[in-house]
């Protein structure tokens, strides 16, 4: 079969394909490359691929054509490469592409390279849809922090970290005090605003490695990594308590202020998912019973209960 047959095969591929010599001058450019980039064959033949044609950038936005060109690396070391990046088409649009590069050998030496690339916009869009669905499934729609499912998943992950790395963690169980009164006095819309304000206050003041989720109703769970002692735990919990108590939420010309009670505990060697949550919940009820707007971290013998109006 003559050369025209192989060129015809390459021209009927959906992927873009082009060849370069050792100076990265384009020696072949198929119809797929024309379709994806907008550049016709006669516009690019004989020009270096880095001559304002493809303008490859990586996912961080760094231009690769002059310094970190994967095709140039393959010409130097003779290795094949595969990566995802962006090219700029003739219209100036950034197009996500998956590329594959292979050197061309002749008589034991590299005489050029071939690069194939495919438009991965559909793949990228699909990944974005998956990420959005995951976010919707794991985020509480009202407060925008993790929902109960996400909180449970994260708590299980923390126990896995204890097994692998022996990292203790702190758990704070928070409940907004007298939340029913907010709804009764101001209306449920105001209650929703107060919930969002508390969630925002908590998430804004977390370390990047920590986690906050809405457990349900007016209850939140915070997971703190690498908490080594009771003093660190109480200090963190009391900081959250004071931040919320000192904040006011404007609503229809009035100011809504709320406080939280917190049950705080550190993971123990014999803990499991249920035991640490039950202990934190008992500590939370203890904080309610002892006056609210406080942190409790050591279980005491307390009579009675916090009552229905938490």
Q: Which residues are catalytic?
A: 218
Q: Mapping DSSP to helix (H, G, I), strand (E, B) and coil, where does residue 208 land?
A: coil
User: CB–CB of 99/120 below 8 Å?
Assistant: no
Residue (of 6, 55, 53, 8) closest to 34 by Cα position: 53
Tracing tokens 């082009």 back to the chain, one arrives at 18
Tracing tokens 């994967």 back to the chain, one arrives at 70
Tracing tokens 């409790």 back to the chain, one arrives at 296
d(CA 115, CA 120): 15
Distance (Å) of CA 47 to CA 21, 25, 37, 103: 10, 5, 15, 19
Residue 143's CB is within 10 A of a number of other CB atoms, namely: 21
DSSP β-bridge partners for residue 169: 225
DSSP β-bridge partners for residue 84: 98
The pairing of strands 169-176 and 260-266 is: antiparallel
């Amino acid at each position: 079969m003559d050369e025209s047959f192989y060129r015809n095969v390459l021209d009927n591929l959906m992927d873009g394909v082009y060849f370069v010599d050792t100076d990265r001058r384009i020696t072949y450019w198929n119809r797929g490359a024309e379709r994806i980039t907008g550049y016709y064959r006669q516009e690019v033949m004989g020009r270096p691929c880095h001559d304002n044609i493809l303008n490859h950038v990586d996912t961080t936005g760094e231009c690769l054509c002059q310094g970190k060109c994967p095709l140039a690396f393959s010409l130097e070391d003779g290795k094949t490469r595969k990566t995802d990046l962006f090219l700029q088409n003739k219209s100036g649009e950034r197009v996500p592409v998956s590329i594959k590069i292979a050197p061309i050998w002749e008589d034991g030496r590299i005489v050029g390279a071939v690069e194939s690339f495919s438009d991965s916009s559909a793949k990228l869009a699909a990944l974005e849809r998956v990420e959005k669905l995951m976010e919707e499934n794991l985020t509480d729609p009202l407060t925008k922090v993790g929902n109960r499912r996400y909180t449970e998943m994260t708590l299980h992950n923390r126990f896995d970290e204890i097994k692998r790395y022996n990292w203790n963690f702190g758990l704070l169980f928070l409940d907004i005090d007298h939340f029913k009164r907010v709804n009764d006095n101001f209306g449920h819309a105001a209650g929703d605003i107060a919930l969002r304000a508390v969630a925002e206050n908590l998430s804004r003041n977390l370390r990047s490695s920590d986690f906050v989720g809405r457990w349900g109703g007016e209850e939140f769970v915070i997971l703190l990594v690498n908490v080594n002692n009771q003093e660190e735990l109480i200090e963190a919990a009391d900081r959250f308590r004071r931040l919320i108590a000192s904040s006011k939420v404007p609503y229809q010309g009035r100011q809504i202020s709320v406080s939280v009670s917190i049950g705080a505990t550190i993971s123990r060697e014999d803990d499991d998912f249920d035991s640490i949550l039950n202990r934190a919940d008992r500590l939370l009820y203890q904080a309610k019973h002892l006056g609210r707007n406080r942190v409790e971290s050591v279980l005491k013998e307390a009579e009675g209960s916090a009552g229905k109006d938490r």
